[in-house]
């Protein structure tokens, strides 16, 4: 009897495994080729609302006190930046409790410049991780967004945040003479623009700019990545991009302004060393890489890295995507070198393509993808049966 039960259990397990494997294979197939399993599984989960992305979840333990063994914990402080006329914007500061004369990173969150698409809460994991990996004081402002606040509100808030960081860095253990700007997507745009504005207005000196898949122009430019990956399946759609443009820059005359479209700036000289990270399956890929190339042509040291096999926003998934973790590690190394003033430019512009994880990392990614897929298939089956 027990032998029969074992056979039935094995048979059921095999059937379930085949269903999961078939599901992963099905989710991996797209009109643009076959996606890595982990990317396919995550996109399926997000696009089908199978997993809530809750910004209020506690960060994993390795990003808190254990992130730097034997050292102090990461602290998080909330402050307000006065704008005048009794108006303020929220700002959050991440730092080790024993921070002293540490570099400062001003991080601008992504979110299409729109209300409800991104905030200092949704990017908690990335900002906390940068603080843990670099030992820097990381400051992230909640700049005003559209539709209530059109250009140049977000730019003015971002630049005011830089001034505030310079004025207040020391009270948080930061060095006001060592400030970098960073951001992702819309935040990458604001980081680039803040670097431009700081140069133009003789503001605080910056030692680096870190741009994750930045939007660099609001103009109608024919980029292959924009037309190929703009369906929304890869987490950013043409519909959202047009909505952002209409809300944030409602007048077409704004699209040529270098403070909305840094790619259109006539002069990119005198800017801090840059790292530009892009994703293969991202409508913003080409414009980010073109901006990096133009920075290089203007004499700015630039490191450009395209991560293959991943989508827009992949760095935010670093806890479950190896490529996201690699990008954060590479970012931390770049920022450390830039703070030490050891970044040098190359004679020729170079785009580094980081391939999808291979070897043992790929085995681990495949195993984790299978586990996540098993959960998703089980959840879908349970939902179908109970409804």
Rounded to an integer, the average pLDDT of 282-296 is 97
Average pLDDT over residues 14-23: 70
How far does CA 95 lie from the centroid of its chain? 19
pLDDT score at 7 = 59
Q: 126-149 as b/e, with b when 16 or more CB fall inside 10 Å?
A: bbbbbbbbbbbbbbbbbbbbbeeb
111, exposed or middle or buried, with CB in 10 Å at 0-12, 13-18, 19+? buried
**d(Cα 338, Cα 126) in Å, to the nearest integer?**
20
Residue of 24 and 348 predicted with greater confidence: 348
Least confident of 66-70, 244-248, 286-290, 364-368: 66-70
Using DSSP bridges, classify how beta strands 87-96 and 302-311 pair: parallel, antiparallel or unpaired: unpaired
Q: What is the mean pLDDT of residues 116-144?
A: 94
Helices (H) and strands (E) in the chain, counts: 10, 11
Tens of pLDDT, residue by residue over 70-92, are 456 889 999 999 987 778 999 99
Inter-residue contact 283 to 229 (CB < 8 Å):
yes
So what's the pLDDT on residue 64? 40
Q: Which position has the higher pLDDT, 69 or 2?
A: 2
Concatenated DSSP letters for 135-175?
--EEEEE----BTTS-TTHHHHHHHHHHHHHHHHGGGGTEE
Per the rule left: phi > 0, alpha: psi between -120 and 50, beta: everything else, 326 is alpha
Model confidence band, residue 52 (pLDDT cutoffs 50, 70, 90) = low
384, containing H or E segment: helix 359-386
Q: What is the pLDDT of residue 276?
A: 98
Residues of the chain with pLDDT > 70, as a percent, come to 87
Residue environment code for 221-247, b if the CB has 16+ CB neighbours within 10 A, otherwise e: eebebbebbbeebbbbbeebbebbbeb
pLDDT at 232 over 70: yes
Task: Tell the CATH topology of 53-356.
Answer: Rossmann fold (3.40.50)
Per mean pLDDT, which range of 35-39, 239-243, 350-354 is the poorest? 35-39
Active site residues: 185, 282, 312
- pLDDT band with cut points at 50, 70 and 90 for residue 32: confident
* Confidence at residue 312, expressed as pLDDT on a 0 to 100 scale: 95
pLDDT per position as a tens digit, 89-127:
999 999 998 889 999 999 999 999 999 999 999 999 999
Distance separating alpha carbons of residues 129 and 135, to the nearest angstrom: 10
As a whole number, mean pLDDT of residues 221-250 equals 93
More confident position, 35 or 189: 189
Peptide bond into 46 cis (omega under 30): no
Distance of alpha carbon 378 from alpha carbon 142, whole angstroms: 38
pLDDT for 335-378, tens place per residue?
A: 999 999 888 888 889 999 998 887 888 888 888 887 887 777 76
Sign of the four-CA dihedral 51, 54, 55, 61: negative
What pLDDT digit, counting tens, does each position of 194-208 carry? 999 999 999 999 999
Of 264, 285, 93, the C-alpha closest to 188 is 285
pLDDT given at position 56: 37
Check residues 26 and 341 and name the one with the higher pLDDT: 341
pLDDT mean over 260-275 = 96
pLDDT band at 280 (very low <50, low <70, confident <90, very high): very high
Q: What is the mean pLDDT of the chain?
A: 87
pLDDT at 9: 60
């Amino acid at each position: 009897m027990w032998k029969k039960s074992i056979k039935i259990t094995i048979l059921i397990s095999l059937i379930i495994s085949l269903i999961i494997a078939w599901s992963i294979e099905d989710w991996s197939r797209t009109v643009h080729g076959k996606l890595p399993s982990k990317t396919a599984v995550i996109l399926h989960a997000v696009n089908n609302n199978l997993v809530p992305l809750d910004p209020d979840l506690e960060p994993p333990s390795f990003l808190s006190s254990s992130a730097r063994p034997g050292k102090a914990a990461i602290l998080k402080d909330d402050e307000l930046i006065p704008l005048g006329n009794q108006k303020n914007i929220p700002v959050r500061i991440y730092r080790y409790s024993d921070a002293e004369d540490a570099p400062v990173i001003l991080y601008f969150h992504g979110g299409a410049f729109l209300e409800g698409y991104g905030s200092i809460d949704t990017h908690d994991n990335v900002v906390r991780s940068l603080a843990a990996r670099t030992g820097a004081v990381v400051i992230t402002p909640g700049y005003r967004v559209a539709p209530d606040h059109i250009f140049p509100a977000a730019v003015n808030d971002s630049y005011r945040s830089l001034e505030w960081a310079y004025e207040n860095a020391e009270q948080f253990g930061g060095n006001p003479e060592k400030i970098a700007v960073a951001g992702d997507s819309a935040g990458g745009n604001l980081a680039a623009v803040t670097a431009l504005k700081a140069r133009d207005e003789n503001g605080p000196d910056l030692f680096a700019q870190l741009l994750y898949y930045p939007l660099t122009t609001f103009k109608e430019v024919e980029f292959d990545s924009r037309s190929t990956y703009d369906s929304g399946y890869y987490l950013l759609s043409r519909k959202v991009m047009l909505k952002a443009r209409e809300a944030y820059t409602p007048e077409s005359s704004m699209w040529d302004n270098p403070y909305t479209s840094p790619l259109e700036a006539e002069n990119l000289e005198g800017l801090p060393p840059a790292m530009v990270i892009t994703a293969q399956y991202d409508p913003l890929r080409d414009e980010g890489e073109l901006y990096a190339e133009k920075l290089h042509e203007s004499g700015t040291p630039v490191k450009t890295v395209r991560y293959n096999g991943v989508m827009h926003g992949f760095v935010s998934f670093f806890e479950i995507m190896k490529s996201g973790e690699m990008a954060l590690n590479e970012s931390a190394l770049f920022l450390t070198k830039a703070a030490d003033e050891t970044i040098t430019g190359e004679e020729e512009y170079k785009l580094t393509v980081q391939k999808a994880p291979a070897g043992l990392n790929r085995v681990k990614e495949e195993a984790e993808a299978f586990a996540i897929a098993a959960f998703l298939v089980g959840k879908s089956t349970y939902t179908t049966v109970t409804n």
